[in-house]
Amino acid sequence: MNERGATRVGSARGAMHTGYGDLYNWNVTIGPQEATGRSPRRIADDQLRRLRQRFVDPAGMGEARRLLAEHSTVILSGGPGSGRHAAARVLLYELPRETGIFRELLPGDEGEATLTDATLVGAGDRLLLDLADAGGTRWAKDCRDLSSLRKVVHEQQAHLVVVMPYGDDLEADLQFLRADIARPPAEEVLLRHLRLHGVPHEAFLQPAPAMVEFLGEQRPLAEVAGFADRVRRARAAEPGAGFARWCEQARDARKTRRKEVARLVAERCEASQRALLFTTAMLHGAHSDVIHRATDVLLHLPGGPREEGPSLACKDLAERLEEIHASTGVYGHVQFKELDYDDAVRVHFWDHMPHLRPLFSSWTARSSKLDDPHLTPSLREELVSRLADQYLRTRQWQGLAALADEWTAGAGSRALVPAAVHALSRGLEHQEFGSAFRQLVRVWCRDKQLTRELADVLRYVCTNVIAPTHPDQAMIRLLHLARREHGTTPALDALCALVATSSRLRRRALDRVTRQSSAPAADARLFLRICDPGPLTEPGGAPHALVDERYVQECVSLGWHVVLTHLPQPDWQPYAKRWLHLASDSDDRRDLLLDLLVHGAGGNGTHFAALYAAARAAEPTTSGGPARGAKTTDRLLHKISATQGLRPRDASPRSASPGGTTP
């Protein structure tokens, strides 16, 4: 390298570092809801709300709304680029959301129930079944299963939107549910996006030949949205240029940039020039101080290009930026002069210098940890996302996953936890590789040797990335993580927060830790948290409470049996205390709750004695007073005696069995 950075300190606030090497000061808390303040349900609703703001009703949308309202199901048909996927999500977003959750059904995927499974649908759920890419055989099978699914949807007062494959046939008995979606006017879609981007209405009235040319090409609606975004960025770069010029920039950005970049790279052969070019593309829009330091990092990495020379004899940053067609704005932020030039530079370096890809990945990690007030969290996230996009664009999703793994292992990995989160999130959100990343996360949560950092990353992406659209898969992955926790329980906390959003999820979680358990002692601890008697006894908008279901009663009894068998009394007594308090406060469910405990004891005298002791200990803190608690203890003792074949003289009437009938 031919120039080195100089240190100049005007004032210092907090940590300061004046030499080479790293100072890690990236204070990012990675957790589940406590980090975001939002539940997976809220995240999903926010995503759908943003989609609705940009959505223009296609032809046929009114009919789709009518069918969904009348039949709780609608099957959308439309060609690629018609907006059918967005229409499906908007239809579900517009529904009332007092109960249930939004989720995408993935029949056949690990952790997902089949379409004929009666437990697939929760009360008030809003379900999306996207079969647009289903093959002929799968589509035929799913069509046959739709009748069973629709029946459960109706019973649960839920709603279902199906996107069918383009050009495939629909069975005659389902034709009445079909709504044909036609592409909305592209100009209206473009104007909606521009208005949301803050482009004033009067700008649309100006002649814009480039916009007319673009709209005449009948591009997919996703590309129309991309054109609007490029107009937004062109306006931000040249506010006074006018609407026609912004549209020209948006049109040309996709046509000529890569050839221009190839010529520029060929002309700029010096290591410092190419390092600055790559850094500016990866940190486009960053402050010049960040660009300078990150370029210096690239030139000093092992295996990276090097040039040495007296620093005062070198060109200053402004001159060097001019050589690569970039400049600094009023506030010192660096940008290329042409729109989307940064994207073309990233593509060129990645495609034409594949031997440097490991170096680019190492540089991204080092640069994301730089301690600089101008390097904001959003810029760090964007840096990692730009690198991840190159991996995904070239179908190297395994390389991106390996990078996230690398960033959470070894010394200093704590500083790279946010970078690993962003890398995995990018993969999970990818349309083509999202499923592969979800499966990888499952394997890691279950089998991989976990560092604390990787466990934090996995918990975060399960809760904030997977759960909003695939809550069943998130629940299973969090279960795997929670089984492996010792001491602290952040994954279990996240799991409990997730199942609290849906009675159906709580039922599935109970099934997993009781009937499908492979680690009884570990699952016994999970059971105590998941089997909260409050949510079990509250319908929450559903036709009945979970505890009224025979299947759930069997799970609960089995769970308590495992708890009493595998855990010491001090571990389970606080949970039994809550259970007994609720039994004391609930006259209509007291007998059922006590029966579940008694059946959980499995006729074991030691278990009965432990339950009785727990009930006596809970009496003083019963909300209705110790006397009410004592009545509950007496009732429990009566049930224990009856189970043992004893009949005390003050025997109370027989109670309901877990099946809901009188013995």
DSSP SS3 for 327: strand
Of 180, 204, 226, the residue that ends a domain is 180
**Cβ neighbours of 651 (radius 10 Å):** 12
Q: Yes or no: say if 577 and 619 are a contact pair by the CB < 8 Å rule.
A: no
202 in any annotated domain: yes
Mean pLDDT for the chain overall: 86
Same domain, 111 and 143: yes
pTM of the model: 0.86
Phi, psi of 581 (to 5 degrees): -60, -45
Instruction: Give pLDDT, residue 498.
Output: 95
Instruction: Give pLDDT, residue 303.
Output: 67
Same domain, 660 and 539: yes
Instruction: Give pLDDT, residue 88.
Output: 95
Same domain, 552 and 657: yes
Residue 507 has pLDDT above 80, yes or no: yes
Spatial strand order in the sheet of 102-104: 102-104, 126-130, 159-163, 73-77, 178-180
521 in any annotated domain: yes
Same domain, 157 and 113: yes
Instruction: Give pLDDT, residue 247.
Output: 92
Residue 22 has pLDDT above 80, yes or no: no
Of 352, 385, 418, the residue that ends a domain is 385
Residue 140's CATH number: 3.40.50.300
DSSP state of 373: T
For 316-339, the DSSP string reads PHHHHHHHTTEEE-TTSBEEESST
Instruction: Give pLDDT, residue 111.
Output: 62
Averaged pLDDT for residues 577-583: 95
108 or 574: which leads in pLDDT: 574
281 or 410: which leads in pLDDT: 281
Same domain, 663 and 517: yes
Residue 336 has pLDDT above 80, yes or no: yes
**Cβ neighbours of 517 (radius 10 Å):** 19
- What is the C-alpha to C-alpha distance for residues 367 and 281, in angstroms, rounded to an integer? 13
Q: Which residues make Cβ contacts (< 8 Å) with residue 542, sequence separation at least 6?
A: 99, 122, 123, 124, 156, 503
446 in any annotated domain: no
Instruction: Give pLDDT, residue 292.
Output: 94
Same domain, 85 and 168: yes
- What is the C-alpha to C-alpha distance for residues 211 and 216, in angstroms, rounded to an integer? 8
Give percent of the chain above pLDDT 70.
89
Same domain, 292 and 242: no
541 in any annotated domain: yes
Same domain, 104 and 172: yes
Using the CB atoms, write b or e for 484-494: b if 16+ within 10 Å. bbeeeebbbbb
Q: Yes or no: say if 322 and 273 are a contact pair by the CB < 8 Å rule.
A: no
H or E segment to which residue 74 belongs: strand 73-77
Instruction: Give pLDDT, residue 304.
Output: 59
Q: Yes or no: say if 631 and 617 are a contact pair by the CB < 8 Å rule.
A: no
> Could you tell me how many residues make up the chain?
663
Angle at 614 between CA 608 and CA 620, to 5 degrees: 145
243 or 661: which leads in pLDDT: 243
pLDDT in tens, 99-149: 888 999 987 676 677 888 888 898 899 999 999 888 778 888 888 889 899
Residue 18 has pLDDT above 60, yes or no: no
Same domain, 515 and 636: yes
- What is the C-alpha to C-alpha distance for residues 319 and 327, in angstroms, rounded to an integer? 9
Rg of the chain in Å (alpha carbons):
30
331 or 230: which leads in pLDDT: 230
**Tokens representing residue 471 in the block:** 């809550």
652 in any annotated domain: yes
Averaged pLDDT for residues 157-181: 92
Instruction: Give pLDDT, residue 531.
Output: 96
Q: Which residue has the tokens 């932020």?
A: 333
Structurally, the chain folds into a number of domains equal to: 4
**Tokens representing residue 210 in the block:** 């480039």
Q: Could you tell me the pLDDT band of residue 273, with boundaries at 50, 70 and 90?
A: very high
Q: Which residue has the tokens 């595998």?
A: 566
Name the residue type at position 348.
H
DSSP SS3 for 286: coil
474 in any annotated domain: no
Of 385, 415, 435, the residue that ends a domain is 385
- What is the C-alpha to C-alpha distance for residues 21 and 14, in angstroms, rounded to an integer? 18
Which range, 8-22, 384-398, 646-660, is most confident?
A: 384-398
Same domain, 561 and 645: yes
444 in any annotated domain: no
Containing structural domain, residue 248: 186-252
Residue 559 has pLDDT above 90, yes or no: yes
Asked which of 229-233, 453-457, 526-530 is least confident by mean pLDDT, the reply is 229-233
DSSP SS3 for 333: strand
- What is the C-alpha to C-alpha distance for residues 492 and 522, in angstroms, rounded to an integer? 11
Same domain, 517 and 624: yes
Same domain, 311 and 365: yes
For 369: left if phi > 0, alpha if psi spans -120 to 50, otherwise beta; the answer is alpha
Q: Could you tell me the pLDDT band of residue 293, with boundaries at 50, 70 and 90?
A: very high
pLDDT in tens, 194-243: 999 988 888 877 889 999 999 988 888 888 999 999 999 889 888 888 89
